[in-house]
Amino acid sequence: MKALYSIACGTLLGLAGAAQATVDAAQIPNHDSGLTLFGSNQAGNHDGTIPPYSGGLTQAPADFKPDSGFWTNPFKDEEPLLRIDAQNADQYADRLSDGQRHLLKQFPTYHLNIYPTHRTAAYPTHVLEATARNAEQCNTTKDNLAVETACRGGLPFPAPANGNEVMWNQLLGYIGDTAIQAQHNRSWRIARNGARTMTADQSTFSERPYYQTGLGDRDPQMFWRTYSITQSPARKAGEITGVFDYLDTVSKPRRAWSYTTGQRRVKLAPEFAYDTPVASLGGGLLFDELFLFSGKMDRFDFQYKGVKEMYIPYNNYDLYTPAGQCDTEGQFVGSHINPACERFELHRVRVVEATLKPGMRHAYSKRTYYLDEDLSGAGMFDAFDQNSDLHRALFNTMIQLYDQKIPWAVRSHTYDFNRGMLTVLGDAYTGGFKVMPEPLPERHLNPEAITARETVR
């Protein structure tokens, strides 16, 4: 299957190369196999509610302001196709997650606005060429807990064979060739009674060195690097935390670190993993829940359950760019997200069921993931406690950075049904996100250099 897929992709790229003056060759779907170059079904669905993939969204709307940190909504004039609430949820139950159905039942003021589907995910030519190569030669090792460094530069598994490969696609999703920063990346905790607490206002930096194949100073094993500097609350101002993740999670496990102003030194933080609560988020999110999944896959069995159509958060521009009532205050209604600021679309998702292995410890016994087939990073999961009761539901929203060919999926909403609490990660309504023009040198990105640079500002 991998060989046939790769041959078809290679033929398509070769033929299309001659027509590069008139068309972006790598965005053309692979019609021979019926797949896009990154492995999703190129065709739409039978009833036309999911369109064919036609290259993604690469044209900016007229009101877009480059380098502003914000991406204006290209679909702002669209109206919802339907509204799903507690009264009609049963009609659409097969396209809703357990978490969505629970929210509709729990909150009379909550509903889902379902909009027309747009398959906006788009990738640069060099990423798609490497992805076509990966279809034949990218492999996992060490019981699916490591990925070969030869895979670097492309989406790893366009034809995933198992649940671990689907999850590696999520972990290694494309977020650009440089890095993305936010000066004010805010997190919120909303209690059952609607009381809101800003748990952190942080300056954040995130890059995927996995795609920086031309930089000789990068560790070829490193695939993700992020750090954040806390600006608020005042008692934690100046604290810095960072995470480095590697392709071989067995031989090179996560390297996490922290810096506190009181101690004035960098310390390793091996506890920043698995089901440790993220302190800066008020404990409302676990480290392995960041962006749907983060870290090592050794505690769960990941079973690929196939593809199905689901309503998932997609093209959520109003959650990334202030518009109308959707801003710092208007994004909430009571103890849930304002439905007028959310956008759900019908997409095909890859379903993965993660079951806790015998003898392993974790807060959850099972999680069910629904991950966008176009590998945009959008999706959701349901998490179940040790009694098999629904514990949490997480929704990872996305926008396409149409001027950069980057799917950007960092704002998440996590509902804890046991504690009656909502946690929001990635609110950048103030300042937005900035794509760096070029990567920083490696000497600027070790923990000591980061703390030295940030603490003298």
User: What are the pLDDT digits (tens) for 243-293?
Assistant: 999 999 999 999 999 999 988 899 999 999 999 999 999 899 999 999 999
Q: Are strands 196-207 and 180-190 parallel, antiparallel or unpaired?
A: antiparallel
- CA-CA distance, 350 to 343, in Å (whole number)? 20
Residue with tokens 């896959």: 297
Residues 203/181, Cβ–Cβ less than 8 Å: yes
Residue with tokens 């049904």: 417
pTM of the predicted structure, to 2 decimals: 0.93
Mean predicted confidence (pLDDT) in 377-390? 98
Query: What pLDDT, on a 0 to 100 scale, did the predictor assign at position 297?
Result: 98
User: What are the pLDDT digits (tens) for 98-150?
Assistant: 999 999 999 999 999 999 999 999 999 999 999 999 999 999 999 999 999 99
Residues 228/203, Cβ–Cβ less than 8 Å: yes
CA 10 from chain centre, in angstroms, equals 28
Q: Return the DSSP state at 12.
A: H
Residues in the chain: 457
DSSP structure string for 43-69: S--TTSSSPPP-S------TT--TTSS
Q: Which two tokens stand for residue 120?
A: 């906006």
Q: Which domains does the chain have, with CATH numbers?
A: 82-118+181-455 (2.50.20.10)
User: What are the pLDDT digits (tens) for 403-443?
Assistant: 999 999 999 999 999 999 999 999 999 999 999 999 999 99
